[in-house]
A and B are shown apart, each in its own frame.
Chain A
Amino acid sequence: MSSIWIIPGLALPTVIGWLILRILEGKTPVLFKWERWIMGFVLGLTFTMFITFLIHITTEMPLNRMGYLGVQLVLTLLIGIVWKIKVPSTKCQTNILTWNLELGTWNLELSRPLKIIISILLTWTIVKILLTGVTFLLLTPPFLGDTVDNWNLRGKIFFSEQKIVLSYPNPKGELATGEINTYPPAVPMTKASFASIAGTWSEPLVNVVHLLWYLAAIALLFFSLRRVTSTLWSLGGTYILASLPLYLIHGTNPYADVYLSVHIFTAISMLFHAITTNDSSQRQSFLRLSAFATAILPFTKNEALIIHTPTILLVLVISLLWMKRKKTMSRNECVQTLLWYAGLLAAVAIPWIAFKWMNNLTFGNAQSLSGINIEWHPGVLKAIAINTFLESNWLLLFPLLIFLLIIKKHIAFKTPLVILTGFFLIVYLGQFPLYMFTFLSTEALYQTGYARGLIHLAPVVVMVVTVLLSHCFSHNNRK
């Protein structure tokens, strides 16, 4: 029952996230009603932890119940005032704010066998997620290395010491610096905040949030797909993501890769929708949302700072140049967009990087990037092929992706979908040289890190696959 404390732990951060998203949307709301709440939970929680972190390192405010709740109350108040002033009071300008998923109509349109199939798959998926989530996160003790070496350990130390700690006890009982302290503290702080509010450290309480991040990833994919495909295809894409075994295992164990994946997906999918829409004001709303989600990224995991954020910025710049060339966006709009991204990103990245610099924290993923020797590591490509194609981590997702990229190359590479396709390919293929030529080869050879890189990208890949699949079955678009 201790996990019930998750509700007060999440309430204010979610409200803060909702308010920020609504402010960023401005006069043109573009998110579905529930999408805004779910995205608000994801981004609001990380943003709240970032502000708490900032206040803590600058004022030495203790990270206790008063500290966490105080920051959350003040933030809610301040952002609430901005929301009240900035956001028009009219309830919903368009029905896009409502639950307009046409769920009422698909009853009429679908055949009985299809309804039965959907019902079976829905039940199967819910049973799988609930049973694995409840068992692995709530009912069994810690089992996996990174849980007890990093995410939960650091959270418990922050909770016990009521401060950010950068050294950890070694087998001699002495405090030592290690590589795990280079990770952003967002996830451990989240856990520490729940425990502080509850007044005790409890496994179910600090673990249950991982299941919520997993469900958020699935839900946000559904809403994102719903913008560009039918309800049926959106459900199909959601099923595809929920059926990936390794993604489910990560969603139901205290690891932070699904957490990162949902942040990445939010940032890049909002950019995709911005470029897809023909409405200028909607585009600006999407771009501001993407800018906010991108800005949060460096505070999630180290990979986000050195791999995903730069790639999103690259894709953004190319997209803006393309939009400018097409005369869909004016020079002013492009500059304004860049300023949004630069301003928000600087607000998060500069303090975090400065903190790292001042504390001699490295920038790699628990590994220093300095002094890398470049040499060929045999066996890496074979290990990658086995993990991707001969194990069941992704079911048949990657053969399907390759097939669809070939037969629907026009859609994949010559429509706005290229934002997602390009982002995935740049990040994915960009990691290959690291595995093939640096000491990071062990991450592929021993299969310790390679698949996690794909976890981060899974919602993006599923989005691409689902959109391409929908085009395969569309009679209007046979390209």
Chain B
Amino acid sequence: MSKTLLITTLLLLCPLTASAVEENILNFEGSVPVQWEIHDFDVAKSTPDGLLINTTQDGYMTTKTEFKRSIEAIAIRLQTNQSMEATLIWKDSSIAKEGLVTFPFIIEGSEEVQVINIDLSNSQFWTSHATEFGLAFPRGANVLLKEMTFYNWNVFEKLCHGSLSFWKFDTFTSHSINFVWGPWLTFNPIARADMHIKDPPFGISGMWVFYIVLAFGGMWLLWKRKTKGTQAALASFLILFSILWLVHDLRMGSELLSYVRNDWRDYVTKGIGERSFRSQLSFPDTTDQSMAYIKDEPYYIFFGPTDTTVYFSIMRYLTYPNLPISDGDKMNQAKHAITFGRNSEIDENGNLIVDGEVVRSGSGSLLRRFNKYGSIFQFKE
């Protein structure tokens, strides 16, 4: 009887899950859907390919909204060859009677049509009750807006995506030696795709799943204690605990093994020139290939990415007793300079320019570029 009930319930759930994501699409190709208010765009012209927007000052476009369902994410299909920070804007009178709430996002310039997915479910300011909604572009923007899609997922889909996000792994980063986030829960595929691009990740800790199961299990066993006895109830609770431990170990062990797989796939099995190592990308290739040039140099100039000193420390460690320098009197005595992840070039006078500043004057020349990020320069005097 109970088996029949279970199967019937599952079959009843099928149409709900099969209904898939609910999409609300505004297509700008050929005509402009709904009424928009344009502010400070120089050009906002409807074309067969989409809405062409040109700005010489910061501008925005808004429309009155009345979302019928909760909006969890937005996809914007557009074309622009400019990289810029654009902004989603909406009106929420519970936050501010006047003005608009802003949600910046990055557009990477490309000749191709691109789709930018934006998760709103993890924004503490987003509301589907917004009375106005729109887009803002910075001055100088030249964008062809093609389509906006508003997504809503039903509760079963959210559960499904939550389960998938539980098993989505982080990567081995510099913080992994201090902490690992572990399972994390987001409830739509757009949030899941980007959940680890920031710390802490988007969503909520998946540890709550364990605690909720333990709480229910504990309560059930407390209730059963009278019939089963305290010792048996305690043993059952600890067995439940053990099962959750095993699941958790499987989850985290798999994550650690995914670090191993990434290292083998991107570094161990690749040859020099093709290797990429975690967040440091081709830095090991740069260090390996520059060793031959600096092996007899007591000092050499080194500039790594600006946001961390670990690259400098790695160079100091790898080349000791030959020392990297980035400052001080010895700079102009160094015969070689290595840069990684910095805009570096030799100007017409032979000076080494890093991020627009002269860091070493003299008769320098580019010796070799190792890859997209690394360069080595040589100085004759």
How extensive is the interface on chain A, given as a class? 35 or more
In the bound complex, do residue B235 and residue A447 qualify as a contact, i.e. CB atoms below 8 Å apart?
Answer: no
In the bound complex, do residue B245 and residue A390 qualify as a contact, i.e. CB atoms below 8 Å apart?
Answer: no
Contacts of B211 in A (CB 8 A): 399
Q: Compute how far the CA of A420 lies from the CA of B231 in the bound complex, rounded to whole angstroms.
A: 25
In the bound complex, do residue A246 and residue B257 qualify as a contact, i.e. CB atoms below 8 Å apart?
Answer: no
Contacts of B179 in A (CB 8 A): 246, 387, 391, 393, 447, 451
Contacts of A127 in B (CB 8 A): 257
In the bound complex, do residue B313 and residue A245 qualify as a contact, i.e. CB atoms below 8 Å apart?
Answer: no
In the bound complex, do residue B263 and residue A139 qualify as a contact, i.e. CB atoms below 8 Å apart?
Answer: yes
CB within 8 Å: A-B pair count: 159
| A229: interface (CB < 8 Å) | no
With A140-B263, A141-B284 as contacts: A128 and B257 at CB distance below 8 Å: yes
In the bound complex, do residue B178 and residue A148 qualify as a contact, i.e. CB atoms below 8 Å apart?
Answer: no
| B253: interface (CB < 8 Å) | yes
In the bound complex, do residue B253 and residue A124 qualify as a contact, i.e. CB atoms below 8 Å apart?
Answer: yes
With A153-B313, A391-B205, A392-B207 as contacts: A447 and B178 at CB distance below 8 Å: yes
With A140-B268, A400-B241, A451-B178 as contacts: A392 and B256 at CB distance below 8 Å: no
Contacts of A148 in B (CB 8 A): 310, 313-314, 316-317
Q: Compute how far the CA of A400 lies from the CA of B240 in the bound complex, rounded to whole angstroms.
A: 12
Mostly helix, strand, loop or mixed at chain B's interface? helix
As a 0/1 sequence over residues 456 to 479 of chain A, the CB contacts with chain B under 8 angstroms (1 = contact) are 000000000000010011010010
- Option from A152, A393, A395, A452 in Cβ contact (under 8 Å) with B317: A152
Q: Compute how far the CA of A146 lies from the CA of B314 in the bound complex, rounded to whole angstroms.
A: 10
Chain-B contact segment, one of A5-13, A208-216, A249-257, A272-280: A249-257
Chain-B contact segment, one of A43-51, A168-176, A321-329, A334-342: A168-176
What is the chain B residue whose CB lies nearest that of A156? B320
| A396: interface (CB < 8 Å) | yes
With A141-B284, A395-B248, A473-B235 as contacts: A249 and B180 at CB distance below 8 Å: yes
Give, as a whole number of angstroms, the nearest-CB distance from A152 to chain B: 6
As a 0/1 sequence over residues 163 to 184 of chain A, the CB contacts with chain B under 8 angstroms (1 = contact) are 0000001011110000000000
| B244: interface (CB < 8 Å) | yes
Contacts of A60 in B (CB 8 A): none
As a 0/1 sequence over residues 316 to 329 of chain B, the CB contacts with chain A under 8 angstroms (1 = contact) are 11101101111111
As a 0/1 sequence over residues 107 to 138 of chain A, the CB contacts with chain B under 8 angstroms (1 = contact) are 00000000000000100100110011001100
Give, as a whole number of angstroms, the nearest-CB distance from B280 to chain A: 7
| A26: interface (CB < 8 Å) | no
As a 0/1 sequence over residues 85 to 113 of chain B, the CB contacts with chain A under 8 angstroms (1 = contact) are 00000000000000000000000000000
In the bound complex, do residue B245 and residue A145 qualify as a contact, i.e. CB atoms below 8 Å apart?
Answer: no
| A448: interface (CB < 8 Å) | yes
- Option from A152, A249, A390, A469 in Cβ contact (under 8 Å) with B176: A249
Contacts of B175 in A (CB 8 A): 447
Give, as a whole number of angstroms, the nearest-CB distance from B259 to chain A: 7
| A407: interface (CB < 8 Å) | yes
| A85: interface (CB < 8 Å) | no
Give, as a whole number of angstroms, the nearest-CB distance from B302 to chain A: 9
Residues facing A in B234-264 (CB within 8 A) are 234-235, 238, 241, 244-246, 248-249, 251-253, 255-257, 259-260, 263-264
As a 0/1 sequence over residues 432 to 450 of chain A, the CB contacts with chain B under 8 angstroms (1 = contact) are 0000000000000001110
| B224: interface (CB < 8 Å) | no
| B177: interface (CB < 8 Å) | yes
Q: Compute how far the CA of A143 lies from the CA of B235 in the bound complex, rounded to whole angstroms.
A: 44
Give, as a whole number of angstroms, the nearest-CB distance from B373 to chain A: 15
In the bound complex, do residue A245 and residue B329 qualify as a contact, i.e. CB atoms below 8 Å apart?
Answer: no
Give, as a whole number of angstroms, the nearest-CB distance from B74 to chain A: 29
| B267: interface (CB < 8 Å) | yes
Give, as a whole number of angstroms, the nearest-CB distance from A370 to chain B: 25
What number of B residues sit within 8 Å (CB to CB) of A?
Answer: 62
Give, as a whole number of angstroms, the nearest-CB distance from B225 to chain A: 13
| B305: interface (CB < 8 Å) | no
Q: Compute how far the CA of A132 lies from the CA of B172 in the bound complex, rounded to whole angstroms.
A: 12
Contacts of B318 in A (CB 8 A): 142
| B131: interface (CB < 8 Å) | no
Contacts of A245 in B (CB 8 A): 180, 182, 252-253, 255-256
- Option from B208, B235, B245, B268 in Cβ contact (under 8 Å) with A395: B245
- Option from B177, B182, B235, B249 in Cβ contact (under 8 Å) with A253: B177
Q: Compute how far the CA of A458 lies from the CA of B234 in the bound complex, rounded to whole angstroms.
A: 25
As a 0/1 sequence over residues 239 to 253 of chain A, the CB contacts with chain B under 8 angstroms (1 = contact) are 010010110111001
In the bound complex, do residue A395 and residue B249 qualify as a contact, i.e. CB atoms below 8 Å apart?
Answer: yes
Q: Compute how far the CA of A121 lies from the CA of B243 in the bound complex, rounded to whole angstroms.
A: 13
| B299: interface (CB < 8 Å) | yes
| B174: interface (CB < 8 Å) | yes
| A160: interface (CB < 8 Å) | yes
In the bound complex, do residue B317 and residue A142 qualify as a contact, i.e. CB atoms below 8 Å apart?
Answer: yes
With A143-B277, A478-B231 as contacts: A171 and B312 at CB distance below 8 Å: yes
In the bound complex, do residue B241 and residue A140 qualify as a contact, i.e. CB atoms below 8 Å apart?
Answer: no
Q: Compute how far the CA of A395 lies from the CA of B214 in the bound complex, rounded to whole angstroms.
A: 14
What is the chain A residue whose CB lies nearest that of B288? A141
Query: What would 25 A/B residue contacts be, using CB atoms closer than 8 Å?
Result: A124-B249, A127-B257, A135-B263, A139-B267, A140-B277, A141-B287, A144-B310, A149-B313, A160-B320, A169-B323, A172-B330, A173-B325, A173-B328, A173-B330, A174-B328, A243-B245, A243-B253, A248-B256, A390-B208, A391-B180, A392-B182, A400-B245, A447-B179, A473-B235, A475-B231
B residues apposed to A, CB below 8 Å? 172, 174-183, 205, 207-208, 210-211, 214, 231, 234-235, 238, 241, 244-246, 248-249, 251-253, 255-257, 259-260, 263-264, 267-268, 277-278, 280, 284, 287, 299, 310, 312-314, 316-318, 320-321, 323-330
The 10 A-B residue pairs with the shortest CB-CB distance, nearest first, are A392-B182, A172-B328, A148-B317, A390-B205, A245-B252, A173-B325, A148-B313, A243-B249, A171-B326, A141-B284
A residues apposed to B, CB below 8 Å? 121, 124, 127-128, 131-132, 135-136, 139-149, 152-153, 156-157, 160, 169, 171-174, 240, 243, 245-246, 248-250, 253, 255, 386-387, 389-393, 395-396, 399-400, 407, 447-449, 451-452, 469, 472-473, 475, 478
